[in-house]
Structure 1
């Protein structure tokens, strides 16, 4: 058994057994030992025992520190609250104007549901103290009584004194949920994060919650951008990309990803979406070099063709063929790449038989894919097998209709052929 467990068992037994003989033992123990016992009880949250010990110490010595610890134990244990209030009020009469007493009476009264008495003590406290902690404490009776505007006013004074984030968060929560001041709450949080060193992400997360309630995508995006600036987290990166996507701002997403050199595969897809083929090609070459994944060769083959101004340039087509052949030889068998390459071989009259064979491999993976069927039908058309071409193309038209120009063109040519 570890030393830690032995000590823990000893302390637990000590606390339990001590509570059974507490009253009798307290008469026989020295002040120093009582102090140690009271602190130990507090540490292990035996608050009823610590209340009794510090009460005994106060009765023995009249030292206010013991009385205050007794009151704190009563609050933490939520026991003997009326008795504690009475003891503290007697002390208050003998030692008037002591702010420490007011600071303890407020939570004691609130625990005992004496809201008006707590408000009286709060009023006394804020008349004599401008400390942030006192203003924060004095706001509690007004929260209990539903006087939220008054509570917010006190919390704002406390915040302006200290710029304490916990106070700020309490204040904006009340403004959001009780005083219908969500926009002002957002302004306060935004001002804080821009003007002060933010100590934790709690401010950002609160801002996010408020922006979501407001359906403010720009606000959500701005906060995630700030979070990502502080912590290059994949989670924040994903949220940023989704926010740009929701806004439909592809250019903004590209600019962000380029600046941070992050989310390169997403950046690659965005380049293709925007038909920025030169940048997409450079990025595909970079990713192939880093990952040695032959799928990037297939992507490069597509891009060589797509970025070419002259789609019939023989040198370019030769490069496309060599790149695709290498990719397939290295194991690329994704039907998307097979369809693209097979159709290119057919459409450019490079090698129709080879193209049709590749397309049949693609159709083994997705037998009902209308685009693959269209490509194969075009191969049969090129081979003058009009009946097979017509049969396949009829399936394509039934599935897709005649909305796409390429399908319309193929259908007309195959109908004439038949």
Structure 2
């Protein structure tokens, strides 16, 4: 894991340990009239990222009132201003420090690379049964890159408080040292007891991504869907990619994603009958012609016969009037009229419209040639298709039939011409 990830883990620990620092100080009864004004000034300076100036105000307030809360705020702001030596000078009387101030002393020692001293003070002046001992010791060990020992201390802390933030810090550390199964055990247990809290599930998702466990990743995403719909879509994509139609369908129903997502699902699995029914339902609901076109496509693909063609042709004619410059609709309609000998002449006219828009489309050229073949105009058909070179099986089949028809017609024409010449000589 890179340095950026380590910094992130350290930041998680630090934020956890100083979680109270951003709160407005509780001052109690005012010691002098302008006390509130000074507090407001200090808070504004903190908000403007000027902790050193804020610390000066808290120093004044502490000396003026003797209230320990101001001393705490001064130490906190000095730490954020990176005045570590000053923090140490002000906190030399360790025995009289409360927990909040003591941890800033430890942090300052660590920032000044005095890890041994920090550890010694922690062991000397702190009760090993208190949660803060384990917090600070684990932080020191992480700074020393003794990650396995640090993990042991965080495990002890988690056994004491079962705090979610402790769990996340532990999971991050276990992920860093690639103890994925151990991290999963802690996170899954928490998941079973407390449900899918966003950050806990995010850690689980991270592990499943790193270990490429896509089945469990999709499951976690499906749980996270209650927080953000995007996770449902992530899960749906994984199910589709993995070919799990039933789980994908259940997910769509669970979150009421609606027919549009069902259509995507049925399309992805080439379930044309279902896709056709959904598309037609969506067309009736929305009156959107795009769904009517999808219905025509999937209804025909589902059955691929003349009856299906007769069902969709009237609808395609409606769409062709609505979108006269749509090459796909014109070719699709024209091809059906040609293929099933419903009206090849009319079909050719629709195909010509498609070719006018896309003259180099091999599928459209094939439809036109096929139309003339159906009208038994084999020479015209051959002249249209003879230069087409493609791997498409259907077009290749049409080309062979048209070629045979053309040469058979040419032979017959040659024979008839010879017979005619003989008759003239006689």
TM-score relative to the length of structure 2: 0.75
Taking the aligned partners of 1:378 and 1:109, their CA distance within structure 2 comes to 85
SS of 1:89's partner is: coil
Q: Please list every run of 5 or more consecutive structure 2 residues that lacks an aligned counterpart in the other structure.
A: 1-29, 407-426
Contact 2:385 2:399 in 1 (8 A): yes
Is 1:107 aligned with 2:95? no
> Structure 1 242/366 Cα, relative in aligned 2: closer, same or farther at 3 Å?
farther
Is 1:214 aligned with 2:211? yes
1:166-205 to structure 2, matched below 5 A, reads 166-177=165-176, 179-199=177-197, 201-205=198-202
> Structure 1 300/246 Cα, relative in aligned 2: closer, same or farther at 3 Å?
closer
Is 1:72 aligned with 2:67? no
Q: Deviations over 1:242-300 (max 9, x none)?
A: 32343244454344335544263353244245453432232122211222122333333
Is 1:340 aligned with 2:340? no
Is 1:155 aligned with 2:140? no
Task: State the 1:155 CA deviation.
Answer: 1.9
Task: State the 1:349 CA deviation.
Answer: 0.8
Taking the aligned partners of 2:171 and 2:321, their CA distance within structure 1 comes to 62
SS of 1:395's partner is: coil
Taking the aligned partners of 2:314 and 2:402, their CA distance within structure 1 comes to 30
Is 1:285 aligned with 2:280? yes
Q: Equivalent residue for 2:24?
A: none
Taking the aligned partners of 2:216 and 2:92, their CA distance within structure 1 comes to 51
Q: Please list every run of 5 or more consecutive structure 1 residues that lacks an aligned counterpart in the other structure.
A: 1-29
Task: State the 1:346 CA deviation.
Answer: 0.6
1:306-321 to structure 2, matched below 5 A, reads 306-308=301-303, 311-313=305-307, 317-321=309-313
Taking the aligned partners of 1:203 and 1:327, their CA distance within structure 2 comes to 51
Taking the aligned partners of 1:258 and 1:67, their CA distance within structure 2 comes to 57
SS of 2:79's partner is: helix
Taking the aligned partners of 1:215 and 1:340, their CA distance within structure 2 comes to 42
Taking the aligned partners of 2:125 and 2:195, their CA distance within structure 1 comes to 30
SS of 1:32's partner is: coil
Is 1:409 aligned with 2:397? yes
Q: Equivalent residue for 1:228?
A: 225
Q: Of the candidates 66, 89, 93, which is equivalent to residue 92 of structure 2? A: 89
Contact 1:55 1:67 in 2 (8 A): yes
Taking the aligned partners of 2:383 and 2:125, their CA distance within structure 1 comes to 90
Taking the aligned partners of 1:78 and 1:322, their CA distance within structure 2 comes to 77
Q: Equivalent residue for 1:13?
A: none
Task: State the 1:414 CA deviation.
Answer: 0.9
Q: Equivalent residue for 2:21?
A: none
> Structure 1 60/214 Cα, relative in aligned 2: closer, same or farther at 3 Å?
same
TM-score relative to the length of structure 1: 0.76
Is 1:389 aligned with 2:392? no
Contact 1:99 1:125 in 2 (8 A): no
Q: Of the candidates 335, 348, 355, which is equivalent to residue 347 of structure 2? A: 355
Q: Of the candidates 248, 259, 268, which is equivalent to residue 264 of structure 1? A: 259
Taking the aligned partners of 1:257 and 1:120, their CA distance within structure 2 comes to 57
Q: Equivalent residue for 1:5?
A: none
Higher deviation after alignment, 348-357 or 56-65: 56-65
SS of 2:92's partner is: helix
Q: Taking CA–CA contacts closer than 8 Å with sequence separation of 6 or more, which of the two structures ends up with the larger relative contact order?
A: 2
Taking the aligned partners of 1:190 and 1:170, their CA distance within structure 2 comes to 15
Task: State the 1:50 CA deviation.
Answer: 5.0
Contact 1:126 1:138 in 2 (8 A): no
